[in-house]
Structure 1
Amino acid sequence: MPARLGYIGAAVAFASAALIASTAFAQKKYDPGATDSEIKIGNIMPYSGPASSYGVIGKTEAAFFKMINDQGGIGGRKIDFISYDDAYSPPKAIEQARKLVESDEVLLIFQPLGTPSNSAIMKYMNAKKVPQLFVASGGTKFGDPKNFPWTMGFQPNYQSEGRIYAKYIRDKFPNSKIAVFWQNDDAGKDQFKGLKDGLGDKVSMIIADKSYEVSDPSIDSQIVALHDSGADIFFSWAAPKGSAQAIRKVGELGWKPKFFLANTATSVASVLKPAGLEYSKGIISTAYLKDPTDPTWDKDPAVVKWRAFMDKYYPDGDKANANNIYGYVQAEAMAQVLKQCGDNLTRDNVMKQAASLKNFHSDLMLPGIMVNTSADDYYPIEQMQLMRFNGEAWELFGDVITGEVGHDATR
C-alpha cells in the first residue's frame, strides 16, 4: 500500500512539474532584446542639430527608466535604454535605426523623434517587423495600421490639432483673415491640412501662407510678407527654433494678430523665453499635459511627485520645460505596455498590447484626457484643451475639445 501511494505521489509530482514547466514555457516568450533579466529599448533623438532643444525628452526618458530599474524593473526585468543622436537628419536616423535593430538587437524602438526621421525609418521598421512605438511626432501618417502595423504615434496628431483651432476660430472669429507660417515637411503640411479641413466652407479665411525649411537661418522675410497680407490671425507651425524666431519677428514688427502656436513649440524655457516673454503674451495654443509653470498645478500631487523625480534622477533638467513632462508621460505609457505584455515579450505582443490601451491616463495628463487604442485605431490621444499665455505662464480655458480625424486622413 505505501508503495502504491508513493507511485501516485510521484505521478502527481511529475504531472505538477510538467504543468508548471509547460505553463512557464507558454508564458515566457522572447524576441531579440528580451530575456529573464532585461528588456532592451532603442531610442533616436536630435541631441544636436536644428531641433536639439527636444533632446531633453530623451534624457528624461533615460532618467525615468533608471527610476524604474531602481524600483526593481518591470516584471523583474531591468530596462536597458539605448539612445542615439540623429541630429534631426533622416539619413542619420536610418543609420541609427539599423544599428539599434541589427547590432544592439533591441526589442523595439521607442519615441524616435521628428516627422522627417520617423518617415525615413518607417518602411525599414515595418519590413523588419520591429515596433516603432509612440513616435514623437504628431504626423497623421503614424496612425495607419493597415499599411504600417508596426508604427504608432502617441501625442495628438497634427490634423486633430488643426481641427481644434479651426473649431475655435469658426465659433469666435468667423470674419477674420488668417495668415499661416508652416514648416515645409510632413508635419507642417499635416497641421495646415487639419486647419483647412476644420474650416471647411470657411477655408477662404486663409488669405496668405509661407513655408520655411527647418535648417533656414532666418525666417524674417516670410513673417514680413505675412504681416503685409493684412491678416488678423497668425498661425506658427514650426519647430521650437523657428517658432521662437517667428514670435520675436512678429513682436518687433509691432504686429498684433491673434497668434496661434503649435503645441510642439509651447515650451516656456526653450521657445517663449528666447523669443521674449513680452512678445509671447496672449498667444493661444493647445495642451493635453499639465504645464509645470502653470500655478494651477503648483501643489498638484502628480506635479509634486514629478518634481521630486527630476531632483533625484535628472537634477540638471529644467523643471520649467514642459518637454520634461512630455518625456515622463511617454515613458509611463511605454512602461504600461510592457507591464501588459507580462512574460510574452515578443515584438508582436508589444504591438498587440500597445493597440489594447483602454482609458489609460497619466496623472500628468489634463483631467478628461484618455489614451485609447485598438487594432484599427492607432491615434492614442485625440483630445486637447486650449490655453493662453499670460506673459508668465499658460492658462487653460474652455472645455476639452476632440479633433478626431477619420482613418482616411493618412492618405
Structure 2
Amino acid sequence: MRTKVFRVAGVTAAAMLALTACGGRGDTATTAGGDCQGQQTVGITDTTIELGGVYPLSGPASAYGEAGKAGKAYFDYLNAEKGGINGRKVEYLVRDDGYQPPKTVEETRRLVEQDQVFAIFPTLGTATSSAVWDYLNQRKVPQVFVAGGATKWGSDTAHPWTIGWQPSYRSEARAYAKYVRQERPDATVAVLYQNDDFGKDLLDNFRAAVAGSGVRIVAEQSYEVTDPTVEPQVRNLAASKADVLLNFSTPKFTAQALAADARTGDWNPLHVITTVSNSVTTLKPVGVENIQGVVSAAYTKDPADPARDADPAMRDYKDKLARYGQGIDPTSNYAIIGWTSADSFAKTMAAATCPTREGLRDSMRNLNNIPIDLLLPGVSLKTGNGDAFPIEALQIQRLTGDRWSLVGSIIDTTG
C-alpha cells in the first residue's frame, strides 16, 4: 500500500487566550520546568504543536477519510484566524492505515518515533486503535479522542493516556434498545454485525439492554471487513422475518445491506444503522426511495438539514470549511465530526494547566461541561473522576426524504 499523508503547518495570526506558562521544550528539551517540572514537552514549543493522526484514507473504510480532511481544515482555520491554540500553531500530520491494524501500528510508530509528535489525534476504528493503545500508553503519549465508540475507551483504567470522544457503543446500543422497546415492545430482531470489537460491542450492549423485555434477538449474521459483500448475510437474516434489522456495520457494508434489504421482497423491517455509517452522502447512492424510515442516532447538528442554515455555528462552519477545506462536502456527517472533534481537541488543550503531554492527559479527563457549538443542544463534553466518556447523550433520528429528522428528546445514557 502506498502511504498517503498530508500536513497542515501554522501561519501567523493573533493568539488565543493565554495558557499558564509552564515551560516549553524549545528545539531540544523534552521536559518542562517550573510548576510542570519533569513533564514531557516532546512535540510542543512556545510557538508550535505537532499532532499526528491516523485515518483510513484508502481501503474499505475510506469514507471516514473526510473526517481527517475536515480536521485538517479546522486546524488551518485555527492557525490563520485564531493564532492556533494559545498562540501555538498546529502542525498536523495525517497518515493512512487503510483500516488495517498492522498498518496502524507502523504509521503510529512513525509519528511517535520519527516525527516526534506531541499527541496522536486521533486513531480511527476499534481494531486499529486497539492495536496501538498499549504502545502509546507505555510511551505515555496521549491518544486523544479516538474516532470510534468502543466502550473500553472510557471504562478501562489501565490506559489513562487514551480516551474516546463520541458516545460509546454502550450508549448507542442503549439508545436503540430504548427506542425499539418503546416502538415495538414485542419485536423480534435480526442483527448484521462486523466481526470485531466494533460490531460485538454494539451487539452485546443491545442484548444486555433488552434483557428481560419482550424484545428478542432471533437471528445474527457477521461479516469480515475483507468480505466483498454482505448480501448473503442479509438474505439469511431476511429468512427470519424479524421485525427489526440492526445493521452494525461500517459505511460500505451499511450501504450494501440497505440495497440488499430493498431487494428482499416482502421483508420490511425497521432498519437501524449506526452513527458511524449514517452520512446521507454515503447512503444516497442506494436510492432515496430505499432508505426511507431508516433509524439511527445523532449527537451533532445535521449539516444537511436546511433548517440548520440559520444556526450561526452552522453558518460559520460551512463558511470556514469552504475557505479552508475546498472540495470537502459540507453536508457530510464525517466532515462535521472531523471538524467538531478537532474543535474539542483545541478546547481541551487550551484548558490544560501545563502545555505538556501530562497536562493534556489530565485536561481530557477533567472536562467540565465544555460547550461545542456543533453538538446538539443539551450535549457537551464532560469527564471527571470515574467518568472517561466525554459525550454520553444522543438523540434518535429517522430518514425522511433525503435528510434526517430528530425523534423524541435527548437520551442521556450516563451510568
TM over 0.5, shorter chain: yes
TM-score scaled to structure 1, two decimals?
Answer: 0.90
Q: Which residue of 1 aligns with 2:13?
A: none
CA distance in 1, matches of 2:96, 2:62: 10
Q: Which residue of 2 aligns with 1:158?
A: 169
Q: Which residue of 2 aligns with 1:256?
A: 268
Contact 1:44 1:113 in 2 (8 A): yes
Counterparts of residues 12-411 of structure 1 (less than 5 Å): 26=34, 31-71=41-81, 72-202=83-213, 205-254=216-265, 255-270=267-282, 272-341=283-352, 344-405=354-415
CA distance in 1, matches of 2:385, 2:359: 12
Contact 2:314 2:374 in 1 (8 A): yes
Contact 2:293 2:400 in 1 (8 A): yes
Contact 2:187 2:214 in 1 (8 A): no
Distance 1:222 1:75, change over 3 A: same
| Letter of the structure 2 residue corresponding to residue 334 of structure 1 | F
Contact 2:187 2:215 in 1 (8 A): no
Residue 364 of structure 1 aligns to a residue in which SS? coil
CA distance in 2, matches of 1:141, 1:48: 26
Q: Which residue of 2 aligns with 1:9?
A: none
Contact 2:74 2:321 in 1 (8 A): no
Residue 319 of structure 1 aligns to a residue in which SS? coil
Contact 1:33 1:39 in 2 (8 A): yes
Distance 1:27 1:214, change over 3 A: same
User: How far is the alpha carbon of 1:362 from its aligned partner?
Assistant: 1.1
Residue 373 of structure 1 aligns to a residue in which SS? coil
Structure 1 unaligned spans of 5+: 1-19, 406-411
User: How far is the alpha carbon of 1:30 from its aligned partner?
Assistant: 5.3
CA distance in 2, matches of 1:259, 1:404: 26
Total equivalences in the alignment: 383
Deviations 1:196-223 (A, max 9, x none): 1110213761100100111210111110
Identity of aligned residues (%): 39
Deviations 1:54-85 (A, max 9, x none): 00111111111111111211121111111100
* Structure number with larger C-alpha Rg: 1
CA distance in 2, matches of 1:199, 1:366: 26
Contact 1:352 1:375 in 2 (8 A): no
User: How far is the alpha carbon of 1:274 from its aligned partner?
Assistant: 2.1
List, as ranges, runs of 4+ consecutive aligned residues in structure 1 with deviation greater than 2 Å. Answer: 24-30
Contact 2:22 2:355 in 1 (8 A): no
CA distance in 2, matches of 1:21, 1:199: 50
Structure 2 unaligned spans of 5+: 1-20, 24-31
